[in-house]
Amino acid sequence: MHVIKCADYGEMSRTGASLILEALKKKPNLLLCAATGSSPEGLYIELATMAHSDLEPFKQLRILKLDEWGGIPENHPVSCEYFLKKKLLGPLDIPQERYISFASDPDEPETECWRIRSEIKREGPIDICILGLGRNGHLGLNEPAPKLESFCHVAALSAESLKHPMIASLEQKPEYGLTLGLKEILDSRLIIMLVSGKEKKHIAEKFLEAKVSPELPASFLWQHPQVECLVEQSVLD
């Protein structure tokens, strides 16, 4: 793992966006797995700014949604779907045929996960996976547990995840999560891990110890051969 200390959130976001742009020059149709939340938001803003000046580098880019809150309508402002369409898909002009997405409120969640598994098998592996560090060390919605799931699955949400800023204001919380599994994430050719926010200081310290445990799912990134870990300085202070 290559740990890069960034002076602030802006530098972290610009560095991440530059890594993606460089990769697009080598493979214009790369498959990008996109997380949601405050950590990657600045990176997406940087990509949107680049696309506004020159859309050409993004004309073959494919996007895969990392995870989703289950039981919430796709057009709800707190859904991952809404976030990505507003912050990434719209600004980069990504059409439906270049976007792989969970339905957020499927009739049969398990069947939806099998569909995404098949999509990844056909379109993958993931070229770049953008991740944020969960407050309890989760990766996507792979929660701390004695055993972790390898493939796309329906996830039981931890009490900590139900406090996530995206859904904190909801009276009725998501019933479950839909998320890629650890193997699908670790099969990515390049992983960009974003660590930001002073509230992540304690879990970031544990993560950076490089001790691998299912009780800290993000720690499995230490077993991946190519991870660019961008850490905001305020997390380390």
Catalytic status, residue 8: no
Distance between CA atoms of residues 94 and 5, nearest Å: 31
In eight-state DSSP terms, residue 124 is: -
Marked catalytic residue, from 74, 119, 136, 224? 136
| Radius of gyration, alpha carbons of the chain | 16
- The number of beta carbons lying within 10 Å of the beta carbon of residue 143 is 24
Catalytic status, residue 76: no
Residue 219 half-sphere exposure toward CB, CA atoms < 13 A = 20
Side by side, the strands of the sheet bearing 153-155 are: 67-70, 176-179, 153-155
Catalytic status, residue 153: no
Q: 84 vs 73, 114, 156, CA distance in Å?
A: 14, 22, 23
User: How far from the centroid of its chain's Cα atoms is residue 12's Cα?
Assistant: 15
Catalytic status, residue 138: yes
Marked catalytic residue, from 67, 68, 184, 232? 67
Distance between CA atoms of residues 84 and 102, nearest Å: 12
Marked catalytic residue, from 46, 105, 138, 184? 138
Marked catalytic residue, from 41, 46, 127, 143? 143
Return phi, psi of residue 155, to 5°.
-110, 135
Give the active site residues. 67, 136, 138, 143
